[in-house]
């Protein structure tokens, strides 16, 4: 039993390394795109934290799907708790909300939190149903 638990811990850690790397790359690409758009079309990037939002909503969908699937427990731990747990993040969202509020963008901060919640839960429901 204790052995099994340590295997789960190692699987979740390994998956999280993959998921967090994916999240970092998505953030980097999003930054490149908004720089490019600013330079080429003068579009000022939106203050809405789209990268985190899209990561969290898509990750919620995939977790709903994986956890309701017939995959074996090891895969569920590796992909669910690991990859998707590491890909999505709550701490970044909480800090972004505070920074938006701090910059007098209170409405945007509230919208960001509410939309993340609603879309995340809906995405998870759809993932569960499709599984």
Partner 1 sequence: MYKRILAVAGFAFIGGALREMLELWWPFSTNWFGTTICINIVGAFLLAMINFWVANRFALPSQIILGLGTGMIGAFTTFSSFSLEIVTLLNAGQIMGPIIYVLLSIGGGVLAAWGGQRLADRLLGDRMDGDDNA
Residues that bind partner 1 (CB under 8 A): 5, 8-21, 23-25, 27, 55-56, 59-60, 62-64, 67, 77, 80-82, 84-95, 97-99, 101-102, 113, 116-117, 120-121, 123-125, 128
Query: What does the alpha-carbon distance between residue 8 and residue 69 come to, in Å, rounded to a whole number?
Result: 18
Yes or no: say if 82 and 20 are a contact pair by the CB < 8 Å rule. no
Q: How far is the CB of 37 from partner 1 (least distance, A)?
A: 22
Output the CA–CA distances (angstroms, integers) from residue 54 to 12, 30, 60, 102, in the order listed.
22, 11, 10, 23
Both tokens of residue 21? 């790397």
Residue 56 near residue 89 (C-beta atoms within 8 A)? yes
The minimum distance between CB 69 and partner 1, in angstroms, equals: 13
Whichever of 33 and 118 has its CB closer to partner 1, that residue is 118
Q: Pull the structure tokens for residue 53.
A: 């939002």
Please tell me the distance from the alpha carbon of residue 23 to that of residue 9, in angstroms, as a whole number. Answer: 20
Nearer to partner 1, 77 or 108 (CB): 77
Closest approach of partner 1 to the CB of residue 63, in Å = 4
Q: Which is nearer to partner 1, 31 or 43 (CB)?
A: 31
Least distance between partner 1 and beta carbon 43 (Å): 26
Q: Which is nearer to partner 1, 43 or 61 (CB)?
A: 61
């Amino acid at each position: 039993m204790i052995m099994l638990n340590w295997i789960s811990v190692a699987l979740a850690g390994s998956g999280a390394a993959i998921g967090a790397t994916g999240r970092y790359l998505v953030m980097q690409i999003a930054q490149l795109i908004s720089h490019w758009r600013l330079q080429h079309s003068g579009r000022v990037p939106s203050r809405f934290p789209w990268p985190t939002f899209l990561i969290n909503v898509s990750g919620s969908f995939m977790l709903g799907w994986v956890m309701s699937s017939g995959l074996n427990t090891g895969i569920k731990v590796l992909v669910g708790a690991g990859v998707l747990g590491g890909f999505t993040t709550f701490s970044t969202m909480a800090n972004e909300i505070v920074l938006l509020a701090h910059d007098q963008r209170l409405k945007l901060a509230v919208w960001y939190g509410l939309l993340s919640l609603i879309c995340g839960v809906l995405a998870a429901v759809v993932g569960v149903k499709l599984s």
